[in-house]
Structure 1
Amino acid sequence: MRSSDSQDPAGEEVGADAPEPSGRPAFHRPTHRWGFGAFLFVEAVLLATAAFVGVFLGGGTPESVPVRDVLIGTMTPTMLAALSALVITKVRGNGPLADLCLAWRWDDVKVGLKFGALGLVCTVVGVLVWTRLVGEDNATSAIGALIEDKPMSVSAAVAMFVYLWLLGPVCEEIIYRGLLWGAAERLGWGSERWGRFAAFVLSTAVFAVSHLEPLRTSLLIVIAIPIGLARLVTGRLLGSIVAHQMNNFLPALAILLTSLGVVTS
């Protein structure tokens, strides 16, 4: 280690000669051995698990799906895919802390909160515009359609709220702005700075498309941009996780209150 270097809390070496997008010293991360193949495998795990759960639980119309099945079908695929991504970084790389740029920094939390606030504004404005364009019935998300007019117990409603607000964003960020982002950066794309921008664009687009809601894809892109910017500015995953969680808070709260019958849809 050079005398000008210091050690990051996550165990990564920090060098003063390699600035981040934010201007602060950047990590010197060891190169990992996974790329787009790893992301495609994780995405296949997500889709295959969703299909298997759908068949196992019997499918049916949204009105006929029990609350328990909604919870299992919503949480299991994304959580299993995120776990697969973590395993890949351990087996084929240097572990999730180094490969996915996971490190606790209050500066990243602050940046995430700022971009999360921007994301809330984009979400509210985007939903209002989108609803006027496609109609209220077509603007409902897939999860919203599943729980619409479906009473939930307090425990089930709280579990859904916690997942949508906190756990779901962590899992999705690991997959898209962790694994996919790292695969895109590994290619280089001509320069380090261009590689980061290419990773931002690619992860934003794939994130939106991967929700498999074609009518809402353009709205999801608008929602995803501030989240991706938090990752781009900080150079780490915590910023985008916090931004994603903050962006999901109001929709998750609305689903919670609707599920408990406090407000009507």
Structure 2
Amino acid sequence: MAEDRGGKRILGAHWAFAAFFFGVAGYYLVTLLTSAAFNRHVGDDDPVEAYAGPLLLLAFLPNLVLGLGPAIASLRYGSGLERDFGLRVRGRDLRIGLACGLLALVVGFVLNAAEIAVFGGDEVSDSPLTDLPDVSGGSTLWLVTTALVLVIAVPLTEELLLRGVLWNALLHYKIPPWVVLVLTSLMFALLHGETTRTIALFGQGLVLGLARQYSGRTSASVLAHAANNLPPAVLLFTGH
């Protein structure tokens, strides 16, 4: 993958670095606006089931915004999505992505189990996905939509932000590759906002980052992320 070394700047920063901050800012802004809009129209006595579909979509809307900054900035200031990120999947990307996705699942399971053993099950929060079947209103359509978002949209947007523009920006500023791997993994963990699962998320982030590092392409980390999200997406239909 040919990385942008032209150094085009937005507000004085390399375009990829600026795109990362705009993406994160957009994420929190949309989170605030959607939360305010939902709380304004849904009273304490209103049944959640009546808003099941919109509630699920609102839950993921901020996440989808994460990929807009990187995509727009790449098209406007960079060399395009393929040259900047290598989004066209190749055979090597597929092999590395699937292998790292499987490893990320194992790492997440082991680290979560270790945290539960140390702190107890009451102190370690469940994944936010656990409650999604309960707020789906029993609609298979909404669960299918949610599963597709989890396996396709979420990996793409998060990877464009973290293993895409942030990764490229840090390399542009000559940050050592192993530091880039650690920093992007830390951001991956913090972005999820699940304090008690930070260690497990950080470990999974390291594995997803290895897919990017070994392949040199963001498509491999997108595939790894998708593979990591596939089992939880399937479990949505079991109600567990």
Same fold (TM over 0.5): yes
What is the CA deviation profile of residues 39-78 of structure 1, one whole-angstrom value per residue up to 9, with x for unaligned ones?
Answer: 11110001101111111111778x8473223322222112
Residue 89 of structure 1 is matched in structure 2 by: 74
- 1:156 and 1:85 map into 2 onto residues whose CA distance is 28
Q: Match for 2:140 among 129, 133, 154? A: 154
- Would you say 1:75 and 2:56 are equivalent positions? no
Query: What are the Cα deviations for residues 204-232 of structure 1, in whole angstroms up to 9, with x where unaligned?
Result: 00011011112211111112121111001
Indicate yes or no: 2:204 matched with 1:204: no
SS of 1:140's equivalent? Answer: coil
Deviations 1:119-142 (A, max 9, x none): 121122223223333415742123
- 2:203 is the alignment partner of 1:228: no
Q: Using the alignment, how far apart are the partners of 2:236 and 2:112 within structure 1?
A: 15
The equivalent residue for 1:107 is 92
Q: The residue matched to 1:103 in structure 2 has which SS? A: coil
Is the CA contact 2:64–2:154 (under 8 Å) kept in the aligned structure 1? yes
Which residue matches 2:12?
A: none
Structure 1 CA distance, aligned partners of 2:116 and 2:48? 26
Counterpart amino acid of 1:160?
A: T
Do the aligned partners of residues 149 and 74 (structure 1) sit closer, same or farther apart at CA in structure 2, a change above 3 Å counting? closer
**Taking structure 1 as reference, are residues 28 and 128 closer, same or farther at Cα in structure 2, changes over 3 Å only?**
closer
Give, in whole Å, the separation in 2 of the partners of 1:150 and 1:71: 7
Aligned-pair CA distance for 1:30: 4.8
Q: Which has the higher contact order (CA 8 A, sep 6+)?
A: 2
Distance 1:248 1:215, change over 3 A: same
TM-fit CA distance, 1:257: 2.0
* 2: CA distance, partners of 1:29 / 1:176: 16
Q: Which structure features the higher share of helix residues?
A: 2
Larger Rg belongs to:
1
Measure the CA separation in 2 of the matches of 1:182 and 1:54: 32
Give the partner amino acid of 1:55.
Answer: A
- Consecutive unaligned residues of structure 1, counting only runs of 5 or more, are 1-25, 259-264
Contact 2:185 2:206 in 1 (8 A): yes
Name the structure 2 match of 1:181.
167
The amino acid of 1:53's aligned partner reads T
The equivalent of 2:6 in structure 1 is 31
TM-score (norm 1): 0.78
CA distance 1:150–1:68, change in 2 (3 Å): closer
How far the C-alpha of 1:143 sits from its partner, in A, is 3.6
Partner of 1:165: 151
Instruction: Please say if residues 82 and 172 of structure 1, whose CA atoms lie closer than 8 Å, have aligned partners that are also in contact.
Output: yes
Q: 2:125 aligns with which of 102, 124, 139?
A: 139
RMSD: 2.3
Contact kept, 8 Å, 2:96 with 2:220, in 1: the verdict is yes
Cα distance in 2, alignment partners of residues 161 and 76 from structure 1: 14
CA distance in 1, matches of 2:186, 2:91: 28
Query: Secondary structure in 2 aligned to 1:93?
Result: coil
| CA–CA distance in structure 2, aligned partners of residues 201 and 256 of structure 1 | 34
**TM-score using structure 2 length:** 0.85
Confirm or deny: 8 A CA contact 1:115 1:227 kept in the other structure: yes
For structure 2, the residue ranges without an aligned partner over 5 or more in a row are 9-14
Q: Distance in 1 between matches of 2:88 and 2:22?
A: 25
Return 164-173 or 233-242, whichever deviates more: 164-173
CA distance in 2, matches of 1:255, 1:232: 31
